[in-house]
Chains A and B, each alone.
Chain A
Amino acid sequence: MSDKKAKASQPILTRRDLLKIGGATAGAVVLTELVMKGPLSAEAIQGIGSESHPHEGSADQEWHMAIDLNKCIGCYYCVRACQAVNNVADPEMRWNVVFPETTSEGVEFFMNRPCQHCADAPCVRVCPVGATWIRPDGLVAMDYDRCIGCRYCQVACPYDVRRFNWDEPTMENIFQPDWGTPQVDTRPRGVVEKCTFCVERIDRGIELGLKPGVDKGVTPACVEICPVGARVFGDIKDTESPIYIFLRQNDTFRLREDWGTNPHVHYVAPRKEEA
Chain B
Amino acid sequence: MAATASAPRQHKIFTTPFILWVASLTAVFIVGLVGMITVLTQGLEVTGLTDQVPWGLWITLDLSAIALGAGAFSFSAAVYLFRIKSLEPMARPAVFIGFLGYTSAMLALAMDIGRPDRFYHPLIYWNVHSVLWEITWCVILYSTVLVLEVLPLVFDSHYFDRWPKLRQLGHTIHKATPVFAVLGMALSLLHQSSLGATYGVLSGRAIWYKPSLPIMFIISAVAGGMAMTLVATLVTGQIRHMKLLPRRTIEIVLRIIGVILLGYLYIKMWDWAATTYYSVSPGTADALSRLRATTPYTTTFWGLEILLGGLFPAIIIFVPQLRKNIWVLIFALTMIPMGVVVNRWNVTLSGLVVPPDWSPGIYGNTIAARYLPTTIEVMVAAGIFAYAWLGYTLGVRFLPIFGKPLPKERLITD
Contact = CB atoms under 8 A, between A and B. Distances in A.
A157 B113 contact: no
B54 A148 contact: no
Contacts of B49: 166
A131 B351 CA distance: 24
A128 B114 contact: no
A122 B358 CA distance: 15
Given A48-B127, A148-B115, A167 B362 contact: no
Given A111-B363, A158-B358, A149 B127 contact: no
A149 to B, nearest CB: 2
B307 interface: no
B360 A189 contact: no
B352 A155 contact: yes
Interface stretch (B1-9, B117-125, B239-247, B253-261): B117-125
Given A45-B129, A129-B125, A148-B121, A259 B362 contact: no
Contact of B358 (A48, A148, A255, A269): A255
A166 B44 contact: yes
> Which 5 residue pairs across A and B have the least CB separation, nearest first?
A149-B114, A158-B204, A190-B114, A101-B361, A151-B54
Interface in A217-260: 253, 255-256, 259-260
B403 interface: no
Contacts of B135: 128
Contacts of B55: 151, 155
A77 interface: no
Contacts, number: 162
A168 to B, nearest CB: 7
5 contacts: A151-B114, A160-B356, A164-B51, A165-B114, A167-B45
Contacts of B362: 101-104
A150 interface: yes
Interface string B173-192: 00000000000000000000
A114 interface: no
B121 A129 contact: yes
Given A126-B130, A148-B115, 16 more contacts: A42-B129, A45-B129, A92-B51, A102-B362, A103-B360, A103-B361, A103-B362, A122-B204, A128-B136, A129-B127, A152-B132, A155-B351, A164-B54, A191-B114, A255-B359, A255-B360
A146 B203 CA distance: 25
Looking at chain A, what size class is its interface with the partner chain?
A: 35 or more
Q: Secondary structure of the A side of the interface? A: loop
Contacts of A101: 359-363
A165 B115 CA distance: 11
B170 interface: no
Contact of A156 (B127, B133, B202): B202
Contact of B54 (A129, A155, A158): A155
A270 B356 CA distance: 21
A40 B114 contact: no
B204 A261 contact: yes
B163 interface: no
B205 to A, nearest CB: 7
Interface magnitude class on chain B: 35 or more
A138 interface: no
A256 B127 CA distance: 26
B52 interface: yes
B33 to A, nearest CB: 20
Interface in A103-147: 103-104, 109, 111, 113, 122, 125-131, 146-147
B82 interface: no
A212 interface: no
A162 interface: yes
Contacts of A261: 203-204
Interface string B344-364: 000000011001111111110
Given A146-B125, A260-B203, A160 B355 contact: yes
A192 B54 CA distance: 11
B131 A256 contact: no
Contacts of B319: none
B45 A130 contact: no
A175 interface: no
B195 to A, nearest CB: 12
A122 B131 contact: no
Interface in A175-214: 189-192
A162 B52 CA distance: 9
A256 B363 contact: no
B399 to A, nearest CB: 34
Contact of A150 (B128, B129, B132, B203): B132
B131 A148 contact: no
Nearest to B109: A150
B150 to A, nearest CB: 27
Contacts of B202: 122, 126, 155-156, 158
Contact of A111 (B126, B204, B359): B359
B51 A148 contact: no
Best-surrounded residue of A48, A104, A151, A157 (most CB of chain B within 10 A): A151
B133 A128 contact: yes
- Which of A52, A92, A154 is the most central at the interface, judged by chain B CB atoms within 10 Å of its CB? A154
